[in-house]
Amino acid sequence: MIDRRALRWNGWGFVHTGFELGRREPEVWRWVADALGRKTLPHRPAAPLERVELAEPALAEPDLQALRALVGAGHVKTDRYERAFHARGKSYLDLLAVRSGDLGQAPDAVVYPGTGEEVQALVSHCDREGIAVIPFGGGSSVVGGVNARRRDGQRGVVTLDTTRLGRVLAIDAESLTARVQAGIYGPELERTLQREGYTLGHYPQSFEFSTLGGWIAARGAGQQSYRYGKAEKWLVSAELATPRGPWRTESFPASAVGPNLNQFVAGSEGILGVITEATVKIHRVPAEKDYRGYFFKDFVAGAKAVRTILQEELPVAMLRLSDGPETHFLQSFSGAQHPPGAIERAAMQALAWRGYGEGRCLLLVGLEGDRETVLESGVRTRAVIERLGGVHLGRRAGERWYAKRFAMPYMRDPMLDRGIAVETLETSVRWSDLHNLYRGVHRAIHDALRDNPADADARAIVMCHLSHGYVDGASLYFTMIFPQKQGAEVEQWLAVKRAATDAIVAGGGTVSHHHGVGTDHAPWLAREKGEVGVALLAGLKDSLDPNHTCNPGKVLPG
């Protein structure tokens, strides 16, 4: 587990690391300010922990004693740091709250059980006692999934931090599966597996600060999901502690004995119970990795290449296509840090003459596997791409991305320090609706920001990449950067969020491809699942957790 004191309680990552801008940092911020229509950037630091307002704990000494009896006195925390750290996740709304110093609800106690049995005892105890239980792994939810809410009538909120459950228990080398405790962080999981020659291959952007249980609970996707699959694909079996008692799901390669209950666990976001352990599919560590870049003249051409590669079933680990604005942003941002030399400028100019200029789109192709497969797939993907108008940039573009693939989340804190909002939205949609949805969401975000600007000069950067592709469609991931409307940050965000999510739904997309529902997406659940679907999910919840002890208020509205 990671010592909570080593982590930013109100931002991303380790206290001692940050987003490195190098010695040209002032030029980078000047470029950002220009792009957003700012003359200067304000100084808006986060409230320090000592100024944070925390409600008096609702649970008194007898309750705390009972918790201590279940997990040991040293594993029940009620200090300010632990309560603040576990109050919320890492969504933009969460950061607004924690940086403002007004946390709203925080857990009354944080417990760190050390075994699955202790988790079960805690869940059963809290269920009997009318206390809400919030499962918390890395706490990296960006949809309000770990917020310390309770239901009317519940006496208090206990956040159940799973990170003491951090071990790989067994590897089945013959079946290529591993049994792992749910609170393990990404790096520790991969270190342990790779020592034995295996990998799960699940590398979300939050990899360093998220846990196996969270990936499963929120149906997470790693950057190489093309090869390794989303959580619901690599999940073989799970163990949960539920108010109805311990639950171990089936673990067959496939079955026709009714619905596969693992598919209820993936996406359950803690509302059916706490995931304590999982069996997952693993792979041998790939002998070869090949990441490289290509330019397309526009997003439509690039998307067609991605679709063709997937529909020709060529084995790839990653295809990531940035749209024009994102390609421009990445190059300008990195250009402000490291101004391109004469040769690079000339090369770009030459590409521009050939039509790969304004609006060009960067496609990153990642291949992983045995040498023969990577070689063969490299030849075939390149042939498809060049046939469809892509131009090869070589491995450096791919390797540059690979080296910085977990860096983006670090960018948000320094942006917020300067009054700049960074928010992301993602969806997935079938190919035949993809471009319509893309345009609709772009328009919705721009319109909402135009109606809710920081001031008359404010400009927004709205960019998108296509990733996590499938034979029948792909995910679109939007990033927006805009000056905050001071004093009305929440309203501004709500306007954008509503407009963009409505546009996603109207365009035939899902409200989330891999972030989950939490509280933020719950209002759209019925539009996506339908009345019957919501009734089914509510029925599931009632079967296992009739008192709404587990993560109340998440996923299901109301």
- Helix/strand number for the chain, H first, E second: 19, 18
288 binds a copy of itself (CB under 8 A): no
* Distance of closest approach, residue 515 Cβ to a copy of itself, in angstroms: 6
Angle at 142 between CA 140 and CA 147, to 5 degrees: 75
300 binds a copy of itself (CB under 8 A): no
Of residues 59, 182, 164, the one with CA closest to residue 112:
164
Binders of a copy of itself in range 340-369 (CB under 8 A):
369
Tokens of 39: 């003359």
* Distance of closest approach, residue 474 Cβ to a copy of itself, in angstroms: 6
179 binds a copy of itself (CB under 8 A): no
Q: Which stretch binds a copy of itself (CB under 8 A): 125-133, 157-165, 205-213, 422-430?
A: 422-430
> What distance in Å separates the CA atoms of residue 201 and residue 74, rounded to the nearest whole number?
34
13 binds a copy of itself (CB under 8 A): no
477 binds a copy of itself (CB under 8 A): no
Nearer to a copy of itself, 103 or 310 (CB): 310
248 binds a copy of itself (CB under 8 A): yes
* Distance of closest approach, residue 315 Cβ to a copy of itself, in angstroms: 7
| Residue of 254, 342, 343, 456 interacting with a copy of itself (CB under 8 A) | 254
Binders of a copy of itself in range 206-245 (CB under 8 A):
218-221, 230, 232, 236, 242, 244-245
Nearer to a copy of itself, 254 or 343 (CB): 254
Please state, in angstroms and as integers, the Cα–Cα distance from residue 121 to each residue in 134, 160, 235, 344, 351, following that order: 14, 12, 25, 62, 64
Q: Which stretch binds a copy of itself (CB under 8 A): 5-13, 46-54, 326-334, 430-438?
A: 430-438
Nearer to a copy of itself, 164 or 554 (CB): 554
Helices (H), 130-235: 186-195, 212-217, 225-228, 231-234
436 binds a copy of itself (CB under 8 A): no
Classify residue 26 as exposed, middle or buried by CB count within 10 Å of its CB (0-12, 13-18, 19+).
exposed
Q: Which stretch binds a copy of itself (CB under 8 A): 10-18, 110-118, 316-324, 536-544?
A: 536-544
Dihedral, CA atoms, 46, 48, 49, 54, nearest 10 degrees? -70
> What distance in Å separates the CA atoms of residue 60 and residue 108, rounded to the nearest whole number?
9
Dihedral, CA atoms, 375, 379, 385, 389, nearest 10 degrees? 140
* Distance of closest approach, residue 182 Cβ to a copy of itself, in angstroms: 17
> What distance in Å separates the CA atoms of residue 31 and residue 330, rounded to the nearest whole number?
12
Please state, in angstroms and as integers, the Cα–Cα distance from residue 120 to each residue in 70, 124, 160, 184, following that order: 10, 6, 11, 18
| Residue of 164, 418, 521, 548 interacting with a copy of itself (CB under 8 A) | 521
| Residue of 458, 525, 547, 557 interacting with a copy of itself (CB under 8 A) | 525
Binders of a copy of itself in range 368-387 (CB under 8 A):
369-370, 372-373, 376, 380
Residue length, the chain? Answer: 558
Binders of a copy of itself in range 256-275 (CB under 8 A):
256-261, 263-264, 266-269
Of residues 145, 321, 193, the one with CA closest to residue 203:
193
312 binds a copy of itself (CB under 8 A): yes
Binders of a copy of itself in range 157-176 (CB under 8 A):
172, 174-176
531 binds a copy of itself (CB under 8 A): yes
* Distance of closest approach, residue 173 Cβ to a copy of itself, in angstroms: 8
Nearer to a copy of itself, 168 or 218 (CB): 218
> What distance in Å separates the CA atoms of residue 519 and residue 516, rounded to the nearest whole number?
9
Binders of a copy of itself in range 47-106 (CB under 8 A):
none
Nearer to a copy of itself, 156 or 473 (CB): 473
Nearer to a copy of itself, 233 or 396 (CB): 233
Helices (H), 299-430: 299-311, 324-337, 342-353, 371-387, 395-403, 412-416
Instruction: For residue 159, give the amino acid letter.
Output: T
Nearer to a copy of itself, 141 or 162 (CB): 141
Binders of a copy of itself in range 452-471 (CB under 8 A):
468-471
| 137 in Cβ contact with 87 (< 8 Å) | no
Nearer to a copy of itself, 227 or 392 (CB): 227
3-class state of residue 290 by DSSP? strand
Please state, in angstroms and as integers, the Cα–Cα distance from residue 545 to each residue in 5, 258, 322, 540, 552, following that order: 33, 22, 42, 8, 10
The string of DSSP letters for 381-419 reads HHHHHHHTT-EEEEHHHHHHHHHTTT-GGGGHHHHHTTT
> What distance in Å separates the CA atoms of residue 258 and residue 333, rounded to the nearest whole number?
51
| Residue of 140, 154, 177, 205 interacting with a copy of itself (CB under 8 A) | 177
| Residue of 429, 449, 463, 500 interacting with a copy of itself (CB under 8 A) | 429
438 binds a copy of itself (CB under 8 A): no
* Distance of closest approach, residue 27 Cβ to a copy of itself, in angstroms: 38
289 binds a copy of itself (CB under 8 A): no
510 binds a copy of itself (CB under 8 A): yes
